[in-house]
């Protein structure tokens, strides 16, 4: 636009201003004719004219730009108000006119006092007489001087010369961004990212002072000789509360936000919208919207979607396009909350640091986009991999000394023992095939409680190596009808009491010897005088009846009987231990057989006795547990109400927990070809999975916003995983370290028990009867444990988040967690001083993982811990349970290998060291 063009626009504006309605429209149509651009400029002026004087106190798109003059010196001298060499205010020597626009003239001058180049800005002569414009000029100086930043043009002072007001500012040897883009098109992407970051930095500095620019556009951005961007022209800037009414619409329409065009409001997010328009041009060389009239421009801003950046520029980073399109959201609430967030989302930005510095809560997407790479050095990654495998090997060897499965006769699998049980039942006369059966191993601690707590000598432990006294027992229940299953407190499923006719339950030791049998007689039966042959039961128990003497029975069978007998003798493997045998029969069939040891108690006396220490431990543990649940419910409700909860992330996590837990139940339950019993079982699994998934969802909604606001580094890898970035180095690092923490936890337990055995000389044990033994139980256990791992990992982070809110220091929160862990461990699990160092080490490792590595690490650690805890370990690979162990080991090694490879971020594991000497 040249001077003649601007003069014509000014004349048409003055003439149109005196007309109204249709008269004005007819006048413009006749004067502008087919010149659409001319009419658009005049209409823009009319739309934004203010009732504060003859001239409008705002700028429009072209009128506000500094107008470059012709290159000839003659033209410059003719248009310039001050000729070169003129000394203004006794201090500034004019070098030449830099430019001229609707809002002023700018000269280059030398500051004679400070001996540096400056720029002097004068109001146009006709605007200098307007009181409102002079006020605005003074305000520009006041506001601009508040902002000191390398990417903002500095304003020095204000003065007067020959009755003209001027301001002195930083001289920028370069060109404005609008001219640069017209000259070269779009900037190279690397330079565009650099300029975008500088614009964000400068605009953020203004916003930090509460100043809105309101006229951010390429013409108001200078690029100096070193390629740095500087935001200029704060003539329309001010505080948000200063703008109301018609003042809201001041600015350049083409770079206004929809709410500003509509005259509703102007906020920091309005500047962010303008920033998005500028960045769009920087990366594409094209304007977002091109309109032939002001009305069309408003319609485009309010209803049209910006064209994709990829339509104009190929290969632009998706991060760039995503953040620019967010800036250009029509609804201000959907735009980034601050310029810092825009800068953070650009390639190379730091979303967490920027958001936290601005006092904001970063979004899950921002957390996932954090620049923390997470790649490990090859030596560290390899050490973690080797260390994890070494710990697995150590546990296998330690298990030979401290795990019962490697000390007792445990050569028969559950399937083999089930066959043995059926043989015995058939010999007892129960030849009908059951409709359903269920079996598993159970731990029997009665011998340990009876003898070992009083006398833990090695001989007492050695007694179990023959299979009896019992430490592990196989139990099978059979029924002529399908079972009525129910859920038990330990997460397993069990049966109601045996009461239905035809049901029978048999217990065997691990060698397959009969320990106990009971059967429910038929409800209707003819009278019979047939006597039972109890020798069959003695043979099944591998007892010599001749070595037992008859005694009066004193144990009442649980079901109906017509004959009852008892014997006393001694255990065949340990003759010093007395043994009593109680039996009963009904019409010639054995309905009750039980080996009674000195430590056997009636069911009514079988409740566990707790010491004061036990009760304290239980109360502390469940106090923490229920405290977490109640606090989580409150915080989840609060976060949902405030809208800060990550509902999408919570849904993904709870869905994963539900699917894994439900599938675990499907594999663990017996399935029968009967609709309603099967429906009951599926419903039971559904309820269990729903319960755990809802609990997980509540904890996630409760802690995730708190962690995201205060400790976002703990969930960076977690959010990347939720976003599907499985190959991210940080995800790999945390999976690797989580696997290492879980493996190390179990390793320390084995090491502690092994040390106790060396010190005390007795048999310290570590045994989990719900082991991952058969392929079916292994699949069920792996799935359900993985589902539970989410909940347990979240629980630890939830404790940290709540404690952080209380203490506002991560260190203090970690120390409290350490204290709670050690207290619970000592009260419930530590039996001697020998184990105490291992307790402290376990608590230390877990606290460091919680406070420094975060959610992903803890979820993986808890999952791996429970997998190993429920696996029977051995070095005897021919053992029937070795297959389950190898599957678990393979799964854990796969996690270690995955974490090691991904955490390297494509680095060579051995580097080029092996090739240096070649």
Judge whether residue 663 has pLDDT over 70. yes
User: What is the pLDDT of the chain when averaged over all its residues?
Assistant: 79
> 33 or 118: whose pLDDT is higher?
118
Position 156 pLDDT exceeds 60: yes
Name which residue leads in pLDDT, 330 or 772: 330
Q: What is the pTM of this model?
A: 0.62
CA dihedral 871, 877, 883, 887 (to 10 degrees): 70
Of the given ranges (329-338, 377-386, 869-878), which has the lowest mean pLDDT?
329-338
Highest mean pLDDT among 106-115, 238-247, 450-459, 790-799: 106-115
Cis? peptide before 665, omega within 30° of 0: no
Question: Is residue 591 classed as helix, strand or coil in its secondary structure?
Answer: strand
Instruction: Decide if pLDDT at 751 tops 50.
Output: yes
What tens digit of pLDDT does each residue of 615-638 get? Answer: 676 777 677 777 777 887 888 888
If you average pLDDT over residues 254-266, what whole number do you get?
80
pLDDT band at 244 (very low <50, low <70, confident <90, very high): low
Q: Residue 441: is its pLDDT beyond 80?
A: yes
- From 34, 111, 176, 215, the catalytic residue: 215
CA distances from 830 to 448, 752, 826 (A): 16, 10, 5
Query: In this structure, what token pair is assigned to residue 171?
Result: 């001289």
pLDDT at 740 over 90: yes
Give dist(CA 295, CA 254) in Å, integer: 11
Q: Report the distance separating Cα 325 and Cα 273, nearest Å.
A: 9
Residue 596 DSSP symbol? E
**Does the active-site annotation cover 215?**
yes
Q: Quick one: angle between helices 647-668 and 775-807, nearest 10?
A: 150
The 10s digit of each residue's pLDDT in 337-348 is: 788 778 877 877
The SS3 assignment for 112 reads coil
Cα radius of gyration (the chain):
41
Query: Does residue 714 have a pLDDT over 70?
Result: yes
Whether the per-residue pLDDT at 735 is higher than 90: the answer is: yes
* Average confidence (pLDDT) over 866-871: 90
Question: Where does residue 8 rank: exposed (0-12), middle (13-18), buried (19+ CB within 10 A)?
Answer: middle
CA distance 333 to 133: 33
- Write out pLDDT tens, residues 177-231: 888 888 888 888 888 888 888 888 888 888 877 788 778 888 888 888 888 888 8
CA distance 25 to 861: 74
The mean per-residue pLDDT over the stretch 665-687 comes to 81
Using CA atoms, how far residue 425 sits from 498, 505, 572, in Å, is 16, 9, 23
User: Under a CB-based contact definition with an 8 Å cutoff, are residues 498 and 477 in contact?
Assistant: yes
User: Which pLDDT does position 491 carry in this prediction?
Assistant: 38
How far apart, in whole angstroms, are the C-alpha atoms of residue 233 and residue 141?
10
- Which DSSP state fits 117? E
The runs of H, that is alpha helices, within 711-809 are: 716-722, 729-760, 775-807
As a whole number, mean pLDDT of residues 242-265 equals 71
Q: How confident is the model at residue 46 (pLDDT cuts 50, 70, 90)?
A: low
Q: Higher-confidence residue: 448 or 791? A: 791
With 70 as the cut, is the pLDDT of residue 652 above it? yes
The yes-or-no verdict on residue 537 having pLDDT over 80 is: yes
Determine the Cα–Cα distance for residues 622 and 618; give it in Å rounded to an integer: 6
How many CB atoms are closer than 10 A to CB 49?
Answer: 19
Highest mean pLDDT (candidates 262-266, 495-499, 729-733, 762-766): 729-733
Of the given ranges (80-89, 492-501, 534-543), which has the lowest mean pLDDT? 492-501
- How many Å from the N-terminal Cα to the C-terminal Cα in the chain? 69
């Amino acid at each position: 636009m040249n001077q003649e063009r601007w003069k014509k626009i000014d004349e048409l504006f003055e003439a149109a201003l005196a007309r109204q309605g249709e008269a004005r429209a007819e006048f413009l149509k006749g004067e502008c004719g087919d010149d659409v651009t001319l009419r658009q400029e005049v209409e823009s002026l009319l739309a934004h004219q203010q009732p504060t004087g003859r001239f409008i106190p705002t700028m429009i798109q072209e009128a506000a730009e500094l107008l470059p003059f012709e290159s000839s010196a003659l033209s410059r001298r003719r248009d310039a108000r001050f000729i070169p060499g003129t000394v203004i205010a006794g201090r500034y020597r004019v070098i030449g006119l830099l430019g001229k626009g609707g809002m002023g003239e700018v000269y280059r001058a030398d500051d004679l006092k400070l001996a540096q180049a400056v720029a002097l800005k004068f109001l146009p002569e006709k605007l200098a007489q307007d009181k409102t414009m002079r006020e605005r000029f003074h305000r520009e100086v006041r506001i601009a001087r508040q902002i000191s930043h390398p990417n903002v043009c500095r304003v020095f002072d204000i003065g007067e010369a020959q009755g003209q007001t001027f301001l002195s500012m930083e001289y920028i040897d370069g060109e404005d961004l609008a001219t640069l883009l017209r000259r070269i098109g779009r900037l190279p992407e690397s330079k565009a990212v650099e300029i975008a970051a500088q614009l964000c930095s400068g605009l953020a500095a203004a916003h930090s002072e509460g100043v809105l620019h309101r006229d951010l556009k390429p013409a108001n951005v200078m690029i100096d000789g070193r390629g740095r961007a500087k935001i200029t022209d704060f003539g329309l800037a001010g505080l948000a509360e200063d703008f109301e009414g018609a003042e809201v619409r001041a600015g350049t329409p083409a770079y206004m936000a929809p709410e500003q065009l509509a005259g509703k409001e102007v906020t920091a997010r309005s500047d962010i919208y303008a920033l998005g328009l500028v960045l769009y041009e920087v990366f594409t060389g094209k304007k977002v919207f091109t309109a032939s009239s002001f009305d069309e421009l408003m319609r485009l801003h309010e209803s049209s979607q910006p064209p994709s950046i990829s339509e104009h520029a190929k290969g632009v980073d998706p991060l760039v396009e995503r953040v620019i399109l967010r800036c250009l959201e029509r609804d201000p609430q959907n735009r980034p909350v601050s310029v810092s967030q825009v800068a953070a989302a650009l390639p190379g930005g730091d979303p967490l640091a920027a958001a936290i510095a601005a006092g904001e809560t970063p979004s899950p997407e921002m957390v996932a986009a954090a620049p923390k790479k997470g790649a490990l050095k090859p030596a560290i990654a390899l050490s973690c991999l080797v260390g994890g495998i070494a710990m697995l090997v150590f546990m296998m060897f330690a298990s030979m000394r401290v795990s019962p499965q490697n000390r007792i006769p445990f050569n028969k699998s559950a399937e083999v023992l089930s066959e043995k049980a059926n043989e015995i039942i058939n010999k007892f006369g129960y030849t009908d095939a059951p409709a359903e059966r269920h079996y598993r191993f159970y731990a029997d601690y009665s011998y340990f409680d009876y003898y070992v707590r009083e006398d833990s000598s090695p001989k007492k432990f050695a007694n179990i190596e023959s299979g009896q006294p019992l430490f592990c027992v196989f139990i099978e229940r059979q029924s002529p009808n399908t079972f009525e299953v129910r859920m038990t407190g330990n997460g397993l499923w069990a049966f109601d009491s045996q009461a239905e006719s035809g049901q029978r339950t048999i217990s065997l030791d691990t060698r397959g010897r009969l320990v106990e049998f009971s059967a429910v007689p038929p409800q209707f039966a003819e009278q019979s005088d047939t006597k039972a042959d109890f020798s069959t039961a003695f043979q099944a128990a591998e007892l010599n009846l001749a070595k037992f003497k008859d005694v009066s029975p004193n144990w009442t069978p649980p079901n109906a009987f017509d004959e009852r007998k008892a014997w006393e003798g001694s255990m065949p493997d340990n003759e010093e231990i007395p043994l009593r045998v109680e039996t009963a029969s009904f019409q010639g069939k054995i309905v009750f057989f039980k080996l009674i040891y000195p430590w056997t108690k009636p069911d009514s006396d079988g409740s566990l006795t707790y010491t004061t220490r036990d009760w304290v431990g239980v109360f502390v543990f469940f106090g923490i547990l229920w405290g977490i649940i109640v606090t989580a419910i409150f915080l989840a409700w609060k976060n949902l109400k405030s809208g800060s909860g990550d509902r999408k992330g919570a849904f993904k996590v709870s869905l994963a927990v539900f699917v894994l837990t439900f599938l675990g139940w499907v594999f663990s339950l017996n399935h029968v070809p009967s609709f309603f019993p099967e429906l009951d079982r599926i419903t039971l699994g559904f309820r269990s999975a729903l319960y755990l998934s809802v609990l997980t969802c509540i904890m996630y909604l409760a802690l995730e916003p708190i962690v995201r606001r205060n400790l976002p580094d703990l969930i960076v890898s977690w959010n990347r995983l939720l976003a599907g970035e499985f190959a991210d180095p940080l995800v790999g690092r945390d999976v690797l370290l989580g696997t290492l923490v879980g493996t190390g936890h179990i390793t320390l337990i084995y090491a502690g028990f092994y040390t106790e055995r060396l010190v005390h000389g007795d048999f310290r044990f570590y045994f989990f009867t719900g082991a991952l033994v058969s392929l079916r139980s292994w699949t069920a256990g792996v799935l359900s444990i993985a589902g539970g791992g989410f909940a347990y990992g979240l629980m630890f982070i939830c404790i940290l988040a709540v404690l952080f809110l209380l203490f506002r220091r991560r260190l203090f929160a970690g120390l409290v967690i350490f204290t709670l862990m050690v207290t619970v461990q000592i009260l419930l699990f530590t039996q001697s001083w020998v184990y105490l160092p291992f307790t402290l080490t376990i608590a230390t490792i877990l606290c460091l993982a919680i406070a420094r590595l975060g959610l992903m690490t803890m979820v993986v650690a808890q999952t791996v811990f429970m997998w190993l805890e429920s696996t029977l370990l051995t070095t005897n690979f021919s053992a029937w349970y070795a297959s389950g162990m190898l599957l678990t080991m393979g799964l854990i090694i796969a996690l270690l290998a995955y974490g090691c490879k991904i955490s390297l971020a494509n680095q060579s594991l051995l580097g080029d060291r092996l090739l240096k000497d070649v």
